[in-house]
Amino acid sequence: MVGDQKEINDTLPGDSGSGTFYAVGVGPGDPELITLKARRILENCNFWLCPAARENGQSSALRIASTIINVEKKNILTHHFPMKHVVRGQQADPELLKAWQAAARQVMTHLKRGEDVAFPTLGDPALYSTAYYLYETLVEEAGHINVEFVPGVSAIGATASAAHQPLCLGNEYLAVIPATFDDRRLKQALEDFDSIALMKVHRILPQLIGLLDELQLTEKAILVEKTSLEDQRVWYNIKEAIDKPLHYFSTIIIRKNQ
Amino acid sequence: MVGDQKEINDTLPGDSGSGTFYAVGVGPGDPELITLKARRILENCNFWLCPAARENGQSSALRIASTIINVEKKNILTHHFPMKHVVRGQQADPELLKAWQAAARQVMTHLKRGEDVAFPTLGDPALYSTAYYLYETLVEEAGHINVEFVPGVSAIGATASAAHQPLCLGNEYLAVIPATFDDRRLKQALEDFDSIALMKVHRILPQLIGLLDELQLTEKAILVEKTSLEDQRVWYNIKEAIDKPLHYFSTIIIRKNQ
């Protein structure tokens, strides 16, 4: 499945001895929301590189995947990627750069031996996944690699399902917004769009509620914590969550045309 | 998994004799992108209601699901939902209303007998799925029903994976925009957002390219037709697709910070 117009880096000639790097979306939390394809690829790869938010911490993606895949005989490296805000167009934090480069070197060792490497990543790789930083670093260092991205169920889709609300219908526009709180820009999007999905809101809830109150949108907001997990919570009155210690799997959806 | 603040319609007391309506996302096209949960629920439901875009036409969602599930013994009704634009806040087209009401009556017959009903739907139910129109009609007619939405892999996530491009990273904002061409509003979103996903662009490509040229965004646009299917095509120069008979599974993603 290669593009027509531009060669992409997955099937260059003479490449047959190289392994493939698979960035695999494992969905929002419930292991049953893993796709058949993700399961097959994770089962077939013996080497996994797993992202962890804390040093010596557990990888959420690994925890989800290992619920349905026997990982006993896998060679699993949990790699610490510091949770720092990345501002596109600016040079990344040196600590982050170092983490990606170290991970890339380990991945390359296996790919060069012809071994495939899987990188399980939360939700859908298309939305804010560390997998792309690693992929870019790999391409920078190696020129090209064999790569496949496996899409997964996103946290925003799962949040909407949990709330029994669509994100958008008909001619509605949807804005997807990350955790960073940028008052002016966020306000504009909240005013202009029919629906808004706000990801990882656990640290900005009080500020956010202030802005939603101002725009009379608080009553349209639904907060879902730990979407799709057994201890999932759905808050139809988001103000009741304001003083709660929210998990970082916390998403708010706002649909104006309810 | 019920909300805290407001009773939602899935676990009312005295409801044990009623079946459950499952709106099941089957992903963007590749049957292997179905989740384990979607497969389990579709296997367990004997009655499926399947949406079809044309009268007496095939249901794409059914075609995808029946690749991995034996449907021989299923009671499958393919229901025609006319492909008309729905403008939220306005009364729906009478033909569409009639289609939903007819479908709702059939679903209710089974639910009342205690039989579960599955409604396979393309991609993720959260994004522009007919499932919500049917659900709303069911609730209007019956007061409440037992319901579960099963999230799926979205066409936009699969398109990004096919193009080896994220939709958004770091602090980037993403706009998701449907096929309807609204020059002013679309232009604003293209100007304001870091990334834009345009769904079902098959009928508006020439107009769209005109606007993208004006904003100097044409070179950042990637078009994926039949995402994740065997005959998927990726166009890195979208102008080469302008005179092609595109399938309605056609999505454009634009990420400014490439």
Per-residue model confidence as pLDDT tens digits over A31-78: 999 999 999 999 999 999 998 877 667 889 999 999 999 999 999 988
pTM value surpassing 0.80: yes
Instruction: Report the gap between the CA of A73 and the closest CA in chain B (Å).
Output: 23
> A248 pLDDT exceeds 50?
yes
Mean pLDDT, chain B, integer: 88
Q: Which two tokens stand for residue B56?
A: 């007496």
A9 touches B: beta carbon within 8 Å: yes
What share of chain B in percent tops pLDDT 90?
A: 69
Contact indicator for B62, B50 with CB cutoff of 8 Å: yes
> B209 pLDDT exceeds 90?
yes
pLDDT band at A88 (very low <50, low <70, confident <90, very high): low
The reported pLDDT for the residue numbered B55 is 65
A160 touches B: beta carbon within 8 Å: yes
> A160 pLDDT exceeds 60?
yes
- Put simply, the answer to whether A173 touches B185 (Cβ < 8 Å) is yes
> B2 pLDDT exceeds 50?
no
Rounded mean pLDDT, B102-114: 93
What share of chain A in percent tops pLDDT 90?
A: 69
B193 touches A: beta carbon within 8 Å: yes
Query: CA A206 to CA B250: how far, in whole Å?
Result: 40
B33-72: per-residue pLDDT in tens? Answer: 999 999 999 999 999 999 887 766 788 999 999 999 999 9
The reported pLDDT for the residue numbered B139 is 92
Contact indicator for B249, B228 with CB cutoff of 8 Å: no
Q: Which of residues 92-121 of B touch A (CB under 8 A)?
A: none
A146 touches B: beta carbon within 8 Å: no
Q: Which two tokens stand for residue A135?
A: 């992929």
When mean pLDDT is compared across A9-23, A131-145, A185-199, B40-54, the lowest value belongs to: A9-23
> A10 pLDDT exceeds 80?
no
Q: Which chain B residues have a beta carbon less than 8 Å from that of A228?
A: 151
A203-247: per-residue pLDDT in tens? Answer: 899 999 999 999 999 999 999 999 999 999 999 999 999 988 999
B90 touches A: beta carbon within 8 Å: no
> B21 pLDDT exceeds 50?
yes
pLDDT band at A8 (very low <50, low <70, confident <90, very high): very low
Query: CA A235 to CA B151: how far, in whole Å?
Result: 19
Query: CA A188 to CA A196: how far, in whole Å?
Result: 11
Query: CA A85 to CA B49: how far, in whole Å?
Result: 45
> A7 pLDDT exceeds 60?
no
B3 touches A: beta carbon within 8 Å: yes
Rounded mean pLDDT, B15-30: 88
The reported pLDDT for the residue numbered B7 is 37
Q: Which chain B residues have a beta carbon less than 8 Å from that of A162?
A: 1, 149
φ, ψ at A198 (rounded to 5°): -110, 115
Q: Which chain B residues have a beta carbon less than 8 Å from that of A168?
A: 126-128, 176, 178
The reported pLDDT for the residue numbered A95 is 80
B221 touches A: beta carbon within 8 Å: no
Enter the ipTM. 0.91
B158 touches A: beta carbon within 8 Å: yes
Contact indicator for B47, B35 with CB cutoff of 8 Å: no
Q: Which of residues 38-57 of B touch A (CB under 8 A)?
A: 39-40
Angle, vertex CA B49, rays to CA B20 and CA A232, nearest 5: 40
Q: Which chain A residues have a beta carbon less than 8 Å from that of B126?
A: 156-157, 160-161, 165-168
The reported pLDDT for the residue numbered B80 is 78
